[in-house]
Structure 1
Amino acid sequence: MNYVIGVDVGTSSTKAVLYDQNANILSQANYGYELYRNAAGMAEQEPEEVINAAEQAIHDVAAKADLNQGKILAVGVSSANQSLLLLDKDKKPLSRLITWADSRAQRAADNLKMMTEGQQLYMKTGTPVHPMSTLTKLLWLKEDEPALFNQTAYFADIKAYLFHRLFNDFNVDISIASCTGLMNIKTGEWDDQALKLAGITKDQLPTIVDGTTQATGLTTTAQAKLGIPADTPFVYGAYDGALSNIGVGATKQNTVAITIGTSAAVRVVTDHPVIDPERRLFCYAINKGLWVVGGPLNNGGDVYQWAVEHLVDSSAVKNENVDPYTLANHVIEGVPAGSHGLLFHPFLGGERAPLWNAKARGSFFGLSQIHTRADMLRAVMEGISMNIATVFQAVRALVGEPASVTATGGFARSAVWRQILADILNCPVNIPDSFESGCLGAAIMAMQSLGMVDSLDTSQKLIGNVSSYQPNPSAVKVYQRYTPLFIQVEEMLSPAYSEIAKLQERQNK
């Protein structure tokens, strides 16, 4: 038996999965690390903790492979996008890893939005102007941390740094590069206008390579830590969102992929760049001839977790001897669609798509004496789904009517949430059994690099069992009345978001 490993370097942990040649899962490993929030807006990682987790995860799944009877054909790598690590002349870290979730570049993003150059760069790079992007992080560092910025010899993302540690090279796959706001999406090269604005040169950035590019020749240190042959090829892959699409078989323009984990995202694969004239959506490269269009949302399962922690009766959990999520789902099933006329806007962590407003805040609307905690719990689940639907509608308007939606993430463990999503979108929703779509996507791209599969479309044959949820006509009618009101209320509240954010900041100092 021969093997392929898929690795996903995420925001809170790194996962590795050992597959056979038919993409059957043989072994899994997962190692977490801390997300440091020591200052307002900060969201950083210690790069050494991330590297150690990745090495340990690969080592553990590789140890399950019988290398006497087969070999590890390749390791495919997925990672979160829009991370930034500052390196010295020897490519050693000068900083912690600044993740996509870091919002300290808010002022730089606000300033760039007001400039003609900001709109020009969005049209060229497909990256919305937001604190998440590498470009705005660089503008912030140049302004607020000039000594550190000027001391930096190289700028890297976490995957480029991982490959550097494993192979002593300095490359970045085109997908990760496309997410930075520094790459021209049509040429596939670093954009001169963006580099000039950021105050850096292309020599300070990794070399852009195709996602199917292989790195071989593990360093002696890396080979010892991983416990795999030094000539095992590692394939650069793409960013986690793009590979999640591949991992759930959503590789055609008529299939939308939705992920609802801690955060959420809506994505569709296209064969040409599609730039949103209203600047609501991103357009990133996946690899040659493939792009992904969509929108990331800050607020997903983390908001539902907040609701369960605060709204589920702890005494009922104890009395019924169930976990709070099981009880919450049971309670929600007993509440009708629309939560008795209660809307919830889930912007507890600001919002990216479709608002691109880090100061957005959450709210219940329509709350009255008739409402119970059960209504509020369902309204939270519906609010997260309606927010996703606003991005879904924007994607649909740009790329056309989808035949179906494939959804994955922790939300899929809740049958009631699956049905709510299908009803609000008014579209069939397919749920694959496998939750680790990023790892599978990375493994499939590695297989493509080796010539084991002709194209990424092969993933549709490898994803395993899928459950399908059809829209309930009566619920659809309810949500078709509530979703426009959800949007109307958000638009009414939008001018007040900045002021309430200022008040909260002052009070919490």
Structure 2
Amino acid sequence: MTGYLLGIDAGTTSFKLGLYTDRGAAVHMVKEEYVLLTQKAGWVEYKAEDYWALLCRLLQRLLAESGIPPERILALSVSSQGETLICLDESGRPVMNAICWLDNRSEKEAGRIRAYFGKRLVYEKSGQADVTATWPATKILWLKEERPDTFKRTKHYLLLEDYLIYRLTGRNVCEENLWASSLLYDINRDCWWGDMLRYLGITEEQLPERMGCGRPVGPVSAAASGQTGLSGGTLVVTGALDQTCGSIGAGKIFPGEVTETTGSCLAVSAAVEGFVPYCEERPVTCQNHAVKGRYTILLWSQTAGMVLKWYAGCFLHREALEGTDIYRLIDREAELAPAGSEGLVMLPHLSGASNPEYNAMARGVFYGMTLGHERKHFSRAILEAVAYMLRRNVEQIEGIGETVSGIYSMGGGAKSDIWCRIKADVTGKKVETIPVKECACLGAAILAGVGAGIFPDIDSAVKRVAGVGRVFVPAQENRAVYDRSFAAYIDLYHALEPVFGKYGN
């Protein structure tokens, strides 16, 4: 009798569930989007109970639509958004809304932690290139200072994956890949960072039991079975950070392979065999991989596909109302403009800049406009701007001595042939799309299979499911123009750096 594996992708604005055979073939998928709570400037929250309610609805829908008997689902695992913090009281109930990773309320606290510990020590403990308001440690310090009653009531600090596992099994456990960016876990010594815990005023007992990725936690509890429709015989297995699961699902977890995901943001991931030494001039994030003993370089930029969404909403509204496929229209227009957009260069920092600038005050800019520019140039300039961010990331990886043999493209941006061609031309690297539709869901399902003993380990599992997508080779005739445009992109940022944040918000 065929058994099935379930991968849950708990994303920032949607949950996706994928059901797979024990050979990695997709059987059925369901998805539901949700809207985050943003009542105050800089605050981004969601009700923790609503995460669970959303998962229950989707599990019930998956079972009903697929027709697969629940008892044939052997194991499940979660691919989770990072850093979203959930605080529980002694009875296991949330004491407040979950604080989403996008929340920036703790910028002051981030500065205090940076000043106290220093960027170098933070990196050597956690692998994080800087201290930002994203990291859970900064939010815990904010609670201590600004919400002391909530801080005192909190008995357990969990991240989203941990909370879903807790609701599914009743066990308070976590996996070490997701916690790397918390600033609470020492990734090289494989223990909680005691000095940080003492600085925050919390104890190890308030944190989950640590496990590796792809490790069995236990069966679905009777209570969760009643709420979800899952069988009590389904094994719950620890998952990993969504970017890690995406790389696993793509089958690209070996040194030399770089994955890029162009969704709302741009995320670049590269597996390396050893921890990258600290370098103040070339800051990177290098954290523990799901594969024990391996590390992952993670680089990201806040706005990538989100810039395209903004552009479409502002300047193609009429076409959208007429039923036009807006993103295909942007692709067609971009194809009509020449490489380099005839001197039009964009900075796509509509919500600040992350790696490598780490400048929350950076803003979006179009430079070089002339009377000869048309909408097609702006469409192409946006695609090129994201490719320039990608090239910066690739050059950072190569700058620390790592080899980039190829770029493997995922996310919504991978659907666009013109965008993939531009990325290949700008970076000078072969770009190959990943044929898997939802890599993070498949990556979680692979980890479920490892925990259930279906696959002997992660490496052998990804080799079994890897496929070949569309391949884009750099066009040498575009190299010179893109070298000039990329240099202009860099110079433009540095020229405007003193201006960012100087004139209003």
TM-score range, shorter chain: over 0.9
Residue of structure 2 equivalent to 1:27:
28
Where does structure 2 lack aligned partners over 5 or more consecutive residues?
none
- Alpha-carbon displacement from aligned partner over 1:315-363 (angstroms, at most 9, x marks no partner): 6984xx6322221111110001111101101111112212222222111
Where does structure 1 lack aligned partners over 5 or more consecutive residues?
505-509
> Hey, what's the Cα distance between the residues in 1 that align with 2:319 and 2:73?
51
Residue of structure 2 equivalent to 1:265:
267
How has the CA–CA distance of structure 1 residues 34 and 316 changed in structure 2, closer, same or farther, with 3 Å as cutoff?
closer
RMSD over aligned Cα, in angstroms? 1.9
Residue of structure 1 equivalent to 2:306:
302
> How does 1:236-315 map onto structure 2 within 5 Å?
236-278=238-280, 280-287=283-290, 288-312=292-316, 314=318
Matching of residue 99 in structure 1 with residue 103 in structure 2: no
> How does 1:138-217 map onto structure 2 within 5 Å?
138-217=140-219
Kindly indicate whether the alpha-carbon contact (under 8 Å) linking 1:160 and 1:170 is maintained by their aligned counterparts in 2. yes
How has the CA–CA distance of structure 1 residues 88 and 316 changed in structure 2, closer, same or farther, with 3 Å as cutoff?
closer
- Alpha-carbon displacement from aligned partner over 1:437-467 (angstroms, at most 9, x marks no partner): 1011111112222332233233243144411
> Hey, what's the Cα distance between the residues in 2 that align with 1:392 and 1:134?
28
- Alpha-carbon displacement from aligned partner over 1:54-113 (angstroms, at most 9, x marks no partner): 222233334425439x82121121100111112111121111111111111122223333
Q: Give the TM-score normalised by the residue count of structure 2.
A: 0.94
Kindly indicate whether the alpha-carbon contact (under 8 Å) linking 1:255 and 1:405 is maintained by their aligned counterparts in 2. yes
Residue of structure 1 equivalent to 2:469:
466
Kindly indicate whether the alpha-carbon contact (under 8 Å) linking 2:89 and 2:95 is maintained by their aligned counterparts in 1. yes
Q: Secondary structure of the residue that 1:340 maps to in structure 2?
A: helix
> Hey, what's the Cα distance between the residues in 2 that align with 1:92 and 1:375?
53
Specify the code of the residue in structure 2 equivalent to 1:366: G
**Range 377-386 or range 274-283, more displaced:** 274-283
Residue of structure 1 equivalent to 2:77:
76
Kindly indicate whether the alpha-carbon contact (under 8 Å) linking 1:185 and 1:273 is maintained by their aligned counterparts in 2. no
> How does 1:98-117 map onto structure 2 within 5 Å?
98-117=99-118
**Range 137-146 or range 85-94, more displaced:** 137-146
Q: Offset at 1:265?
A: 0.5
Aligned counterpart in structure 1 of residue 444 of structure 2, from 442, 445, 448: 442
Aligned length: 499
Residue of structure 2 equivalent to 1:507:
none
Q: Secondary structure of the residue that 1:496 maps to in structure 2?
A: coil
Residue of structure 1 equivalent to 2:502:
499
Q: Give the TM-score normalised by the residue count of structure 1.
A: 0.93
> How does 1:256-405 map onto structure 2 within 5 Å?
256-278=258-280, 280-287=283-290, 288-312=292-316, 314=318, 318=322, 322-405=324-407
Matching of residue 2 in structure 1 with residue 3 in structure 2: yes
Q: Secondary structure of the residue that 1:495 maps to in structure 2?
A: coil
Matching of residue 223 in structure 1 with residue 222 in structure 2: no
- Alpha-carbon displacement from aligned partner over 1:265-321 (angstroms, at most 9, x marks no partner): 011112322244136321222232222112121111111111122233726984xx6
Q: What is the aligned-residue identity percentage?
A: 27
How has the CA–CA distance of structure 1 residues 198 and 275 changed in structure 2, closer, same or farther, with 3 Å as cutoff?
farther
Q: Secondary structure of the residue that 1:452 maps to in structure 2?
A: coil
**Range 142-151 or range 408-417, more displaced:** 142-151
> Hey, what's the Cα distance between the residues in 1 that align with 2:277 and 2:411?
27
Specify the code of the residue in structure 2 equivalent to 1:187: R
> Hey, what's the Cα distance between the residues in 1 that align with 2:221 and 2:186?
33
> Hey, what's the Cα distance between the residues in 1 that align with 2:86 and 2:320?
46
Matching of residue 120 in structure 1 with residue 117 in structure 2: no
**Range 243-252 or range 365-374, more displaced:** 365-374
Residue of structure 2 equivalent to 1:54:
55
Residue of structure 2 equivalent to 1:489:
492
Residue of structure 1 equivalent to 2:409:
407
**Range 445-454 or range 20-29, more displaced:** 445-454
